[in-house]
Amino acid sequence: MLEYKIEDKALFLIGSLNKETIPEIYEKISKEKSLSEIDKISLEGLEQIDSAGVALLDELIIASGKDLPLIGMSQIIKDTVTVFESRSLPESSKPRKIYMFEAVGDKIVKFFNEIFEMLVLTTDIVYWSVIGLWNRKGQRKGSFTQQGVLIGVDALPIVALLSFIIGFIISLQSASQLKQFGANIFLANLIAISMVRELGPLVTAIIVAGRSGSAIASEIATMKVTEEIDALKMMALNPIRYVVVPKFHAVTICMPLLVLFSIMVGVFGGLLIGVYYLDLSLVSFLNSCLQVTALKDIVISMAKSTVFAWQIVIVGSHYGFQVTGGAEGVGKATTTAVVISIFSVIVMDAAFSLLYMI
């Protein structure tokens, strides 16, 4: 039960001020016209108060526009008010406005810091990968085989499907033009050069980036969020050597093999068009493919695939280790890793294209 009265410019509260009595009493007090004239609140007759009651006192003081003193409090009431009152808390400062040049400078600094962190991570991965060739200490037994199956063998169906479709479509579109000039045999040259030099490595890298790069980033990010990375450190296990190095070894071996598989499937897609649409013989088509394909093309293609593989693992690991927050952070890290991996692969592919001009 709670009662109030206003006398001598003072508000007297009597009884229990808690969450049950507040709604009714607040409505009555709000209608008092003399509320603005009071200059103090007396709690001498107050027997009980909770956090909701303290919130009501704060509301009354703020509504009055004056710093009304609380008088006549017992020690118990005073202690409760001291714990729950919000007026004594410091006001939260508004965030400072960030201007355009400051924002641009911050972006540039963050970019170079991220590049530096990625270079440091690359150094660690390469170092422990070389050490891991002779010393398997600190790695799970069978992890290389497991990652080889996940990254290489399990990717064969999707690589085969997309490579065949791309080779088939390019050959089909080109055949209609070549047929007009009686240059049917050059279809073999076109599909062999395009698949060996560009499409085989690039398509395979994009598939692996979307499939395995996302898996690497999400796995490491989840381990970081669930503090498994910290647990590995507590057990004197290097997270890079334990988690990343098996993936680095596996993708280094599997990516060139996947690219070779992609090239063969893409050429097979062109072979179907050449044989059944342009009436080329199987032998002439294959001979033309072999004649136009130089050893330099194969070497650069394998070099591209290896570099692409390293980029995917390094980028995925970097964003996995940089994750913050919970499940939302894992999702953002995975998305960013895939986007940056594909972007870096395309940029590096453009750089390798210059080698064909030498």
What burial class does residue 189 get, using C-beta atoms within 10 Å of its C-beta: 0-12 exposed, 13-18 middle, 19+ buried? middle
| Confidence bin at 1 (pLDDT 50/70/90) | low
The radius of gyration of the chain's CA atoms, rounded to the nearest angstrom, is: 36
Q: Which of 147, 208, 243, 157 is nearest to 341 (CA)?
A: 208
Q: Domains of the chain: which residue ranges?
A: 2-84, 138-357
Each residue of 308-337: pLDDT tens digit? Answer: 999 999 999 999 888 887 788 888 889 999
pLDDT in the model for residue 207 = 92
DSSP-based three-state secondary structure for 92: coil
How much is the pTM?
A: 0.72
| CA 113, 115, 118, 120 torsion-angle sign | negative
Sheet containing 40-49: give its strands across.
Answer: 2-7, 10-17, 40-49, 70-71
**Range 2-84 classified under CATH 3.10.20.310:** no
Could you give the CA distance from residue 48 to residue 76 in angstroms, rounded to a whole number?
9
210 secondary structure, DSSP code: I
Each residue of 86-128: pLDDT tens digit? Answer: 766 666 667 778 888 888 998 999 889 988 998 999 898 888 8
